[in-house]
Amino acid sequence: MSLPSSIADGSADDAQLVAAVQAGDAHAFGPLVERHLDAIHALVALRLPAAHLVDEITHHTFVFAFRRIAEFTAGTSFRAWLRAIAANKIRAEIERYRREEGHRLAYAELRALEEALGEVKRPDSPELEVLDDCLREVPSHLRNLLDLRYREVRSSEEIAGRLERSVAWVRTTLCRVRQQLRDCIERKLKLQAP
Amino acid sequence: MIPEEQLSAYLDDALDGDQRQAVDLELEHDPSALRFVLEQRQLDRVLRSLLGAASRRERLKESILAALAGATAEQLRAQVLADTSGALRWWVRRGTSGTVWVGPARAAS
């Protein structure tokens, strides 16, 4: 079956794509995944204090959305609907994780789960909206460090070798850059506050 | 107060069991260090997500679309016309090395 031209050429908006999926065209879900995957993944990463589960919960969010696409209300935001599904998945995962792994977790991990439960229903994530701006303000030599760690997924030892620095320097500098980013996020959010 | 170098090694999972346990114990009594650790880990996850998007996107997209491919157009249409939640189950098999997505499969009746 050939796709409608607006879907094939990528010009269809969310409402058109959802309508096509609701009419039985499963292929129309692909562009929706493409369009919203990064934002939902970042939201899950922000709210779920278990890094190894971020991909999985993101995966389940989209699969759930596909299966329940009939329940999506036309005229509302598809992104907001995905976020609500993700929030429910995150909360369920935190509760399961705490129940099954709680006795093995360190104090800091348990506290992270408790805090995350309190935050999971927040409808917005302003931190993510300002983080891009803060990343643009990172000096180039430190941006290179972030890219080696997060874009190329290099270990501290590999980065130390590449930059001819000590491993301790890599670790402490990464901590300081993350702290500067945190400070930048808070500063920008304060400026936005009414 | 936990030295910066020790805390950064802790966050990098570079401490041995005893050293890690010592930091864990100190965190129970040091709220500012605990706050630092929680915020560092959160930002670490978000930076992995944002900056690592290119390498992850295709793999994750493929895993989602592969999971959806099991549902035919007829099944999808049936779901739209009448809510059949529970007719399909998405099985998650948990193992020691992580989670494998296996599905969709018909739920056992």
pLDDT, tens digit (0-9, with 9 covering 90-100), for A97-156: 889 888 888 889 999 999 999 888 887 888 998 999 999 999 999 999 999 999 999 999
Are residues B11 and A175, on separate chains, in Cβ contact within 8 Å? yes
Which candidate in B49, B68, B75, B96 is best for mutational testing of the A interface (most A CBs within 10 A)? B49
Q: What is the pLDDT of residue B37?
A: 95
DSSP B85: T
Q: What is the pLDDT of residue B66?
A: 86
Prior bond to B104 cis, omega within 30?
A: yes
DSSP A122: -
C-alpha distance from residue B65 to each of A114, B87, B103 (Å): 33, 19, 11
What is this structure's pTM? 0.82
Are residues B38 and A67, on separate chains, in Cβ contact within 8 Å? no
Helix (H, G, I), strand (E, B) or coil at A77: coil
Q: Is A97 on the interface with B (CB under 8 A)?
A: no
Residue of A nearest to B7 (CA): A172
Select the more confidently predicted residue: B60 or A1. B60
Residue of A nearest to B104 (CA): A63
- ipTM (interface predicted TM): 0.89
Q: What is the pLDDT of residue B85?
A: 34
Helix (H, G, I), strand (E, B) or coil at B101: strand
Inter-residue contact A31 to A12 (CB < 8 Å): yes
CA atoms within 13 A of residue A6's CA, in its CB half-sphere? 10
User: Cβ contacts (< 8 Å) between B97 and chain A: which residues?
Assistant: none
Are residues B8 and A168, on separate chains, in Cβ contact within 8 Å? yes
Determine the average pLDDT of the residues in A79-89: 95
Q: Which B positions 33-92 lie with beta carbon below 8 A of chain A?
A: 34, 36-57, 60-61, 63-65, 67-69, 71, 73-74, 76-77, 79-81, 83, 85, 88, 90, 92
Q: What is the pLDDT of residue A11?
A: 77
Helix (H, G, I), strand (E, B) or coil at B87: coil
Are residues B7 and A153, on separate chains, in Cβ contact within 8 Å? no
Inter-residue contact A152 to A117 (CB < 8 Å): no
For chain A, give the mean pLDDT.
91
Band the pLDDT of B89: cuts 50, 70, 90: very low
Determine the average pLDDT of the residues in A57-74: 94
Worst-scoring range by mean pLDDT, A11-15, A69-73, A88-92, B80-84?
A: B80-84
Tell me how far apart the alpha carbons of residues B48 and B53 are, in angstroms, rounded to a whole number: 8
pLDDT, tens digit (0-9, with 9 covering 90-100), for B3-49: 999 999 999 999 999 999 999 999 999 999 999 999 999 999 999 99
Residue of A59, A26, A8, A4 lying closest to B72 (CA atoms): A26
CA angle B82/B87/B91 to nearest 5° reads 140
Residue A158 CB coordination number (10 Å): 15
Inter-residue contact A37 to A62 (CB < 8 Å): yes
